[in-house]
Chain A
Amino acid sequence: MAKIEVENLYKIFGPHPAKALRLLREGRTKREIMEATGHGVGVNDASFSVEEGEIVVVMGLSGSGKSTLVRCINRLIEPTSGTVRIDGTDVTALAPDELRRLRLAKLGMVFQNFALFPHRTVVQNTEYGLEIQGVDPSARRAKAMEALELVGLKGWEDSHPKQLSGGMQQRVGLARALALDPDILLMDEAFSALDPLIRRDMQDELINLQEQMQKTILFISHDLDEALKLGQRIVLMKDGAIVQVGTPEEILTSPADDYVARFVEDVDITKVLTAESVMKKAETVAYLGTDGPKAAMRKMRTSGISSIFALDKTHHVAGIVTADDCAALIEAGGGELASILRTDITTVTLDTPATELIALIHDLPYPLAVIGGTGKLQGVIVRGTLLGAIAGRGLAQ
Chain B
Amino acid sequence: MINSIPLGDAIEAIINFLVDHFSFLTRAFSATTDTLLSLLEHALLALPPWLFIALAALLVWRLSRNRGLGVFALAGLGLIWNLGLWSATVSTIALVCIATLVAISIGIPLGILSAMNRTIYRIVFPILDVMQTMPAFVYLIPAIPFFGLGKVAAIFSTVVFAMPPAIRLTCLGIRQTPPELVECAEAFGSNRWQRLVKLELPLAAPTILAGVNQTVMLALSMVVIAAMIGAKGLGGEVWKAIQRLQMGRGFEAGIGIVIVAIILDRVLQKIGARKR
Chains A and B bind each other: yes
Residues of A in contact with B (beta carbons under 8 Å apart): 74, 76, 100-101, 103-104, 107, 109, 111, 113, 115, 117-119, 128-129, 131-133, 176, 180
Interface residues on B, range: 10 to 19
Contacts A113-B180, A131-B198 hold; do A119 and B203 have CB atoms under 8 A apart?
A: yes
Contact (Cβ within 8 A) A115 B203: no
| A residues near B203, Cβ cutoff 8 Å | 117-119
Contact (Cβ within 8 A) B186 A76: yes
Contact (Cβ within 8 A) B180 A115: yes
- Give min CB distance, A203 to chain B, whole Å: 22
Contact (Cβ within 8 A) A119 B189: no
| A residues near B198, Cβ cutoff 8 Å | 117, 128, 131
Residues of B in contact with A (beta carbons under 8 Å apart): 180-181, 183-184, 186-191, 194, 198-199, 202-203
Contact (Cβ within 8 A) B181 A132: no
Contacts A117-B199, A132-B194 hold; do A109 and B189 have CB atoms under 8 A apart?
A: no
| B residues near A113, Cβ cutoff 8 Å | 180
Partner of B181, one of A117, A129, A131: A117
| A residues near B194, Cβ cutoff 8 Å | 132
Contact (Cβ within 8 A) B202 A115: no
- Give min CB distance, A168 to chain B, whole Å: 17
Q: Nearest chain-A residue to B183 (Cβ)?
A: A76
Q: Nearest chain-B residue to A112 (Cβ)?
A: B180
- Give min CB distance, B91 to chain A, whole Å: 39
- Give min CB distance, A102 to chain B, whole Å: 8
CA A118 to CA B186, docked complex, whole Å: 17
Contact (Cβ within 8 A) A101 B199: no
CA A322 to CA B188, docked complex, whole Å: 46
Partner of A132, one of B180, B183, B189, B202: B189
Partner of B188, one of A118, A119, A129: A129
CA A128 to CA B202, docked complex, whole Å: 14
CA A119 to CA B189, docked complex, whole Å: 19
Q: Nearest chain-B residue to A124 (Cβ)?
A: B198
Contact (Cβ within 8 A) B183 A100: no
Contact (Cβ within 8 A) A109 B202: no
- Give min CB distance, A353 to chain B, whole Å: 43
| B residues near A118, Cβ cutoff 8 Å | 203
Q: Nearest chain-A residue to B190 (Cβ)?
A: A132
Contact (Cβ within 8 A) B187 A74: yes
Contact (Cβ within 8 A) B188 A104: yes
| B residues near A115, Cβ cutoff 8 Å | 180-181, 183-184
Q: What are 24 sample pairs from A and B whose C-beta atoms fall under 8 A apart?
A: A74-B187, A76-B186, A76-B187, A100-B191, A101-B189, A103-B186, A103-B189, A104-B189, A109-B184, A111-B183, A111-B184, A115-B180, A115-B181, A115-B183, A117-B181, A117-B202, A117-B203, A128-B198, A129-B188, A131-B198, A132-B188, A132-B194, A176-B188, A180-B188
CA A101 to CA B189, docked complex, whole Å: 7
CA A109 to CA B183, docked complex, whole Å: 10
Q: Nearest chain-A residue to B184 (Cβ)?
A: A115
Known: A104-B188, A111-B183. 10 other contacts (CB 8 A): A100-B191, A109-B188, A111-B184, A113-B180, A115-B184, A117-B181, A117-B198, A117-B202, A119-B202, A119-B203
CA A128 to CA B189, docked complex, whole Å: 10
Give 5 closest A-B pairs by Cβ, nearest first.
Answer: A104-B189, A115-B184, A103-B189, A109-B187, A100-B189
| B residues near A132, Cβ cutoff 8 Å | 188-190, 194
- Give min CB distance, B209 to chain A, whole Å: 14
Contact (Cβ within 8 A) B180 A129: no
- Give min CB distance, A262 to chain B, whole Å: 31
- Give min CB distance, B19 to chain A, whole Å: 46
| A residues near B199, Cβ cutoff 8 Å | 117
| B residues near A107, Cβ cutoff 8 Å | 187
| B residues near A129, Cβ cutoff 8 Å | 188-189
